[in-house]
Structure 1
Amino acid sequence: MNELMVFTDLYKFLGALGPMRISMTGKTFSVGFTPMRFVGKVAKFATLNGEKNHQCLILHVDAGNPTSTRGEAVQHAIQMTLGFDIQQMRKFKRKNHEAYIPLEVLTNTKSLEAAKELIENEFFRAIKK
């Protein structure tokens, strides 16, 4: 599976999780996903980044709380499940309240389905806040 196919599949999957506000920045090729609900505000849940050196899905696991380190725990779980080390794959500055899934580690249906399960769990956690 190439990164474009993975990007497209994840785009469709994220959009189908529930009512979602989808935004695209003008400067970069990144798409943000913010769950919508009738009561209360929900922060951005995920960003699909298609930039050449940053191709990844960013999960904003504790959005709105930049001092949180929950993203590190989620990142560790993702790395154990999918078998990669983010520090070796990406040199850009990462935030402690976010978790990153490089698109190139989703090389087959099994890894993509495992990633979707992790994403779905984080989505339902985010909308319960």
Structure 2
Amino acid sequence: MNELQLFSELHKFLNSLGAMEYSLAPKTLTLGYKPIRFGVKSSKFATLYGEKNYNCLILHVDPGNKESIKGEMIQKEVQKLLHFNIKEIRGFALKKHEVYIPFEVIDTKEKLVELKDFVHRQYISIVRR
């Protein structure tokens, strides 16, 4: 599965989770997803980065809390699930409250299904707060 197909597939999947507000970066293929929740101020849940240096899905697991290490813990979980090490694949600084899933590690339909299940669980935990 090439990265553009994966981007498209993940975009469709994120849309299927529920009502979302989108933001599109002006000069890159970068989409942000913020769940729409009535009566509650929502934070960004996910970002699809299609630009060359990133090419990944980022989950914002503890949005607004830059001191949180929740992202680091969940990062280890997804790395074990999908068999990769983000520090070996990407050289950019990682934020402790975010989870990074590079597109190139999703190289089979089975891994895509595992990723979707994982993202769905994260989505449910965020919208139930």
TM range (shorter): over 0.9
Structural RMSD (CA): 0.7
Question: What does residue 122 of structure 2 align with?
Answer: 122
TM-score by length of 1: 0.98
Question: Which amino acid in 2 is paired with 1:84?
Answer: F
Identical columns (%): 45
Quote how far apart the aligned CAs of 1:27 are.
3.0
> How far, CA to CA, are the matches of 1:76 and 1:63 in structure 2?
18
| Cα deviation 1:71-124 (Å, max 9, x = unaligned) | 001000000000000000000111000000000111111000000111001101
Question: Which amino acid in 2 is paired with 1:66?
Answer: K
Q: Unaligned 5+ residue runs, structure 1?
A: none
Question: Which amino acid in 1 is paired with 2:102?
Answer: P
Helix, strand or coil: the match of 1:26?
coil
Q: Aligned runs of 1:48-87 on 2, under 5 Å?
A: 48-87=48-87
Asked whether 1:22 is paired with 2:15, we answer no
Quote how far apart the aligned CAs of 1:28 are.
2.4
Quote how far apart the aligned CAs of 1:42 are.
1.2
TM-score by length of 2: 0.98
> How far, CA to CA, are the matches of 1:119 and 1:39 in structure 2?
24
Question: What does residue 40 of structure 1 align with?
Answer: 40
Is contact 1:71–1:97 with CA below 8 Å preserved after alignment?
Answer: yes
> How far, CA to CA, are the matches of 1:31 and 1:37 in structure 2?
19
Matched positions, count = 129
> How far, CA to CA, are the matches of 1:27 and 1:95 in structure 2?
23
Question: Which amino acid in 1 is paired with 2:118?
Answer: L
Quote how far apart the aligned CAs of 1:22 are.
1.1
Question: What does residue 113 of structure 2 align with?
Answer: 113
Is contact 1:42–1:126 with CA below 8 Å preserved after alignment?
Answer: no
